[in-house]
Amino acid sequence: MREHLLYINGGWRAGGGAPAAAVSPSSGETFASVATGTPADVDDAVAAARAAWPSWAAASPFDRAGWCEQIIAGIRERRAELARALTEDQGKPLAAEAYDEVDELAEYFRMAGEDAKRREGGLPASTSAERRILATRVPLGVIAVVSPWNWPYTMGAELFAPAMAAGNTVVWVPAPSTSACCAVLADVIAGTGLPAGVFSYVSGPGPVVGDALVAHPGVAGVGFVGSVETGALVAARAAGKAQLLELGGNGPMVILEDADLELAAEAALEAAYLCAGQSCTAGERFLVHAAVRGEFVERVVAATKKRIRLGDPFQPETTMGPLNNEATAAKFDRHIADALAGGARVCCGGRRAAGFPTGLYAEPTVLDGVTPGMAIEREETFGPVVPVVEVTSAAQALELTNASPYGLTAAVFTEDLERGLAFAERARAGWVNINASTNLWESHLPFGGRSGSVSGHGRVGGRYPMETFTEPKTVVYPAPRYRK
């Protein structure tokens, strides 16, 4: 059984707390132990990061991009190990999803290095001919990164890769339930010989090490991806620091009466079952026009039964693995029970699957007859379910879309592009797809919640975190004099 330690100031060490067991959600077996950090460990990591920051910030962006390339090489060399560690720890299918996440992880470092090299400043005009002005952006210092368990590699890297490439140092606290695979990634990064203190990894309970980190006076900025509830706590504890918070979603997938139903049904599978529905971009509710609701439900049920293979995530034929933890599985149960009590109907699935090593395998589920106000319609389920809500017009679909406190993603299906664009303009969401799943995104584009929603603020994706993790700096100097 592998023992994972903390990585602080260029070295591995045991945490101040008792090691925690890493238990596979797919087999129920303990496969590793993970060090548990304490606030004292966080203090040491932040101190090391602060000490490393001046020289790291002073390095050329091309030098920092070179380190990104070395990390990419390490990821590619250990691609199979990273993928298997992810499947064992998180539960996502090895062939269908885990390798894809590892490949996207490498892409985040590639983008970060390239974006750092292309950052530019300006030469604004002065009110005086005797002065010149330089306008640039400079790194903040130490960035705290706290990341979730559903995409353990990429949700951390989309924050700490651009933060490091822009000249900041980073302390990373991943979610406890996937700290084992994150320790493998930390080992890959450590293996590049990165200067001590530039990157540290501290595992442990969020309320202990996560809280100590985001509230630490030595931290200049905080990047967090996770739930709305935890995000609110992070925002309060990190008051006064730069913050990038990417929180939950309840993104609707709207199917209008002129939609291509074959395309919409295909997209529904990706929207509902990718990562077993454990995604902030998942299609959490399906607002379907009454004229096509029956056919849409039939198509989705048929496609679910034909295409989705729940099973051992290490088997190549598996397309959907278990849920990651019991709290998420219990919410799946609770939301379905509430919907059924309110008159919804199970068309397929609807329960935990029997015959597996753990109770975390949830059946791919389609619910019809869901109505506004049910828990499954207004909250983020984070499970493999297609809750179908009937609407009678695009206007009603838009009204339900905008009634949600969330504002992360939405999708609309229509054969009329102008109609789709009109919906997208009016939908209060940070990202809207037309004729594509809510789970479709491109990692170089700005992604985040709409202002005023509970889905966070700031933008992840490509170079956009660099806007949060750097700040403007203005330098005024005398105009150079020409000497003959």
Which of 88, 246, 363, 390 is labelled catalytic? 246
Q: Taking the CA atoms of 411, 223, 206 and 357 in sequence, report the sign of the dihedral they define.
A: positive
Please name the residue that has the structure tokens 């969330």: 406
Strands 242-246, 221-225: pairing kind = parallel
User: Which residues lie below 8 Å from residue 450, measured CB to CB, with a gap of 6+?
Assistant: 407, 408, 428, 429, 430
Torsion from C-alpha of 408, 440, 381, 276, nearest 10 degrees: -150
C-alpha–C-alpha distance, residues 217 and 410, integer Å? 38
C-alpha–C-alpha distance, residues 34 and 16, integer Å? 12
Look up residue 60 and give its DSSP letter: -
For the question of residue 280 being annotated catalytic, the response is yes
For the question of residue 348 being annotated catalytic, the response is no
User: Which residues lie below 8 Å from residue 38, measured CB to CB, with a gap of 6+?
Assistant: 15, 16, 17, 204, 208, 209
Please name the residue that has the structure tokens 């720890």: 89
Which of 68, 181, 182, 280 is labelled catalytic? 280
C-alpha–C-alpha distance, residues 386 and 283, integer Å? 7
Angstrom distances, CA of residue 176 to CA of 71, 92, 201, 269: 23, 17, 12, 29
Report which residue type is found at 240: G
User: Which residues lie below 8 Å from residue 355, measured CB to CB, with a gap of 6+?
Assistant: none
C-alpha–C-alpha distance, residues 282 and 100, integer Å? 17
Instruction: Count the alpha carbons within 13 Å of 338 in the hemisphere toward its beta carbon.
Output: 17
Task: Work out the number of other CB atoms within 10 angstroms of the CB of residue 55.
Answer: 12
Angstrom distances, CA of residue 431 to CA of 9, 251, 280, 407, 439: 38, 10, 12, 9, 10
Contact 387, 284 (CB under 8 A): yes
The H or E element that residue 335 is part of is: helix 326-341
Structure tokens at 21: 């067991």
- The residues annotated as belonging to the active site are 246, 280
